């Protein structure tokens, strides 16, 4: 036995660290899933390690997609939920939750609106009572409406000085045209000004109902306790939203030839670029392959685009690409802030990387590095109860398989170089790009004509042709 151990030991090279084993799938927690008679979908993940509970409510079909021309309506309606009810003022809601040592928040995105509550298990009964009051009894008080509208308009005005914000808004406008995604979810100065109490009440009545609600509990709670809380607070809620939602109303045409749009920012010394086209929906079966492909292209610090523009040429502090998926196809874009004198060269380099990713297979080392990165950060994204709750809700919101996250790592590791090339060819279109630059039009316009017809706008989206001369 001793001689055998010595022989094996002599074969070991102790100057090198042992090779890591293959990454294993993260065991995503199983969850209880039921739908109550009034339509509420209840999800429960039990975890008694910490005596705390996170509760997250998401209302489907209540996001900015349904603003209906009143931009900012969904966002502000959600914000106002915690600003006063039939039983509590905004101050009382904040003070009562603070006294319990918890937090309550509300908001929205394109796909839905949410309310979330986090607090210790021993205070859950009182906390759920406040949460239910916020969801069931909002009053949309005029004073609070005036205050949140003033804050929102101030934020919108401030954003007009942000080159990145200007290029983003223009990019969405030219890319999505008349589709709801073309308009800012936070609203515009003009749209927010005219929103009224009646608008908020109408949106709430049409989009907030039990049949639209996904309610997730994560933490120190049993499924029996969760169902009891829901039955106690929400079982009598049988309101049905009334608005007809025809998702076929909006069609996107991004088959236009390459075009260039400049948002003039006189005196700017750099340009904020946003270059791209229509992307994919969240439930696209190729989503994971696209995620790996995009990470390699421009999705993390070691990506090709960032290396080319930042490390190799020193044109920017950072360049990135991103697929922004939603229930309906979102956008794909490459973003970078570059010096005026290298704006055209940067665009050429970006287009070159897009053409490269669709024309040749990635290397084994590149693919392995990206796989290691994605599989390494994934467990870190599941460390909080709120993060787990959000992902469980995503499974329902986007109609993903229940084992989606449990197989996430193995799905990534199973992808081949051929899979990445196939995804790139299918979803990256270098010859069909919308190019937006926010910067000094006088300094960059002539340089960008090589990429297509150039149009120039001001920060309020008004056409400037020809662009203003410096000092005017």
pTM beyond 0.85? yes
Is residue 466's pLDDT more than 60?
A: no
Residues in the chain: 472
Among 151-165, 181-195, 233-247, 248-262, name the one with the lowest average pLDDT: 248-262
When pLDDT is averaged across residues 433-462 and rounded to a whole number, the result is: 95
Give the pLDDT score at 353: 98
* pLDDT band (50, 70, 90) for residue 271: very high
pLDDT tens readout for residues 126-181: 999 999 999 999 999 999 999 999 999 999 999 999 999 999 999 999 999 889 99
- Check if 32-241 and 259-457 are the same fold: yes
Give the pLDDT score at 178: 86
When pLDDT is averaged across residues 407-423 and rounded to a whole number, the result is: 97
All residues at 6 or more sequence positions from 32 whose CB lies less than 8 Å from its CB, including other chains: 42, 43, 44, 45, 46, 223, 226
* pLDDT band (50, 70, 90) for residue 56: very high
Among 27-31, 101-105, 349-353, 354-358, name the one with the lowest average pLDDT: 27-31
CB atoms within 10 A of CB 250: 15
Q: Which CATH number fits domain 32-241: 3.30.830.10, 3.40.630.30, 3.40.50.1110, 3.30.450.40?
A: 3.30.830.10
d(CA 80, CA 380): 32
Give the pLDDT score at 420: 98
When pLDDT is averaged across residues 404-415 and rounded to a whole number, the result is: 95
Domain ranges in the chain are 32-241, 259-457
* pLDDT band (50, 70, 90) for residue 205: very high
d(CA 144, CA 147): 5
Q: Which CATH number fits domain 259-457: 3.40.190.10, 3.30.830.10, 3.30.413.10, 3.40.50.970?
A: 3.30.830.10
Give the pLDDT score at 27: 76
* pLDDT band (50, 70, 90) for residue 10: low
CA atoms within 13 A on the CB side of 470: 8
Give the pLDDT score at 387: 86
d(CA 278, CA 377): 27
DSSP state of 123: G
Number of H helices, E strands in the chain: 17, 12
Give the pLDDT score at 11: 62
pLDDT top residue among 22 and 340:
340
All residues at 6 or more sequence positions from 214 whose CB lies less than 8 Å from its CB, including other chains: 41, 43, 57, 58, 59, 60, 393, 396, 397
């Amino acid at each position: 036995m001793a001689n055998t151990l010595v022989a094996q030991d002599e074969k070991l090279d102790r100057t090198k660290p042992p090779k890591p084993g293959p990454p294993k799938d993260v065991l995503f927690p199983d969850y209880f899933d039921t739908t109550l008679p009034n339509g509420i979908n209840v999800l429960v993940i039990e975890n008694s390690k910490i005596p705390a509970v996170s509760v997250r409510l998401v209302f489907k079909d209540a996001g900015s997609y349904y603003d209906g021309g009143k931009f900012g309506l969904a966002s502000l309606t959600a914000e106002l939920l915690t600003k006063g009810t039939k039983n509590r003022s905004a101050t009382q809601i904040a003070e009562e939750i603070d006294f319990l040592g918890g937090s309550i928040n509300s908001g929205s995105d394109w796909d839905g609106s949410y309310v979330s509550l986090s607090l210790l298990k021993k205070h859950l009964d009182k906390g759920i009572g406040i949460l239910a009051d916020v969801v069931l009894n909002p009053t949309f008080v005029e004073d609070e409406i005036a205050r949140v509208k003033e804050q929102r308009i101030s934020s919108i005005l401030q954003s007009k000085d942000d080159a990145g914000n200007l290029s983003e808004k223009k990019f969405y406008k030219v890319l999505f045209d008349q589709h709801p995604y073309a308009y800012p979810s936070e609203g515009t100065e003009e749209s927010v000004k005219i929103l009224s109490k009646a608008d908020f009440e109408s949106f709430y009545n049409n989009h907030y109902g039990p049949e639209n609600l996904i309610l997730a509990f994560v933490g120190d709670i049993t499924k029996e306790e969760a169902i009891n809380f829901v039955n106690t607070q929400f079982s009598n809620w049988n309101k049905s939203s009334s608005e007809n939602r025809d998702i076929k109303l909006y069609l996107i045409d991004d088959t236009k030839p390459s075009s260039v749009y400049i948002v003039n920012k006189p005196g700017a010394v750099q340009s904020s670029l946003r270059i791209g086209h229509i992307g994919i929906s969240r439930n696209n079966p190729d989503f994971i392959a696209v995620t790996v492909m995009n990470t390699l292209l421009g999705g993390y610090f070691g990506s090709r685009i960032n290396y080319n523009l930042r490390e190799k040429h020193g044109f920017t502090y950072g360049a990135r690409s991103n697929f922004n998926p939603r229930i309906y196809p979102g956008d794909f874009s490459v973003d970078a802030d570059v010096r005026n004198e290298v704006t055209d060269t940067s665009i050429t380099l970006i287009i070159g990387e897009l053409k490269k990713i669709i024309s040749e297979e990635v290397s084994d080392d590149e693919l392995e590095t990206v796989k290691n990165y994605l599989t390494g950060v994934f467990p870190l994204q599941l460390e909080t109860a709120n993060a787990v709750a959000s992902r469980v809700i995503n499974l329902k919101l986007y109609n993903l398989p229940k084992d989606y996250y449990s197989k996430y790592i193995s799905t990534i590791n199973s992808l081949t170089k051929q899979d990445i090339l196939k995804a790139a060819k299918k979803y990256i279109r270098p010859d069909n790009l919308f190019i937006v630059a926010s910067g000094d039009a006088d300094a960059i316009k002539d340089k960008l004509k090589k990429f297509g017809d150039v149009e120039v706008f001001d920060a309020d989206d008004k056409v400037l042709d020809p662009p203003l001369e410096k000092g005017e």
